[in-house]
Amino acid sequence: MNKCLKITFNADVPDDFIQNHVLKNARKLNIEGTAQTINSEKKIKVIVCGDKDEIDQFLDLLHKSSLKAELKELEIEPFLKDKDYRGVFRVIE
């Protein structure tokens, strides 16, 4: 069963957090979607789609890798896939 989530949070994370944690884990779990930093709000926005079990594992890994960062204003909401990510996870800069 497929599942899509929109995850947004504020956190004091290193500049390479998206590359080293989000992108790496998404590719390892074969998840598609996007991640980007919204500079004006200092927020990170992640959209992930994939198998339900892999999405749940991705969330667990995200929580573990961000324990030091103290996530603030974490929002996780169901997301209706509105475009084709073509099976790839991308970082938008």
pTM over 0.95: no
Domains contained in the chain, CATH given: 2-92 (3.30.70.100)
Lowest mean pLDDT among 2-6, 9-13, 50-54: 9-13
Mean local confidence (pLDDT), 40-45: 81
Per-residue confidence (pLDDT) for residue 69, from 0 to 100: 66
For all residues of the chain together, what is the average pLDDT? 87
**DSSP assigned state of 53:** H
Q: For the segment 80-92, what is each residue's pLDDT rounded down to a tens digit?
A: 887 788 889 999 9
Mean local confidence (pLDDT), 47-61: 94
Return d(Cα 33, Cα 25) in angstroms, integer. 12
Per-residue confidence (pLDDT) for residue 32, from 0 to 100: 95
Return d(Cα 65, Cα 14) in angstroms, integer. 12
User: C-alpha angle 3/27/12, rounded to 5°?
Assistant: 90
Mean local confidence (pLDDT), 9-13: 81
Three-state DSSP class for residue 85:
coil
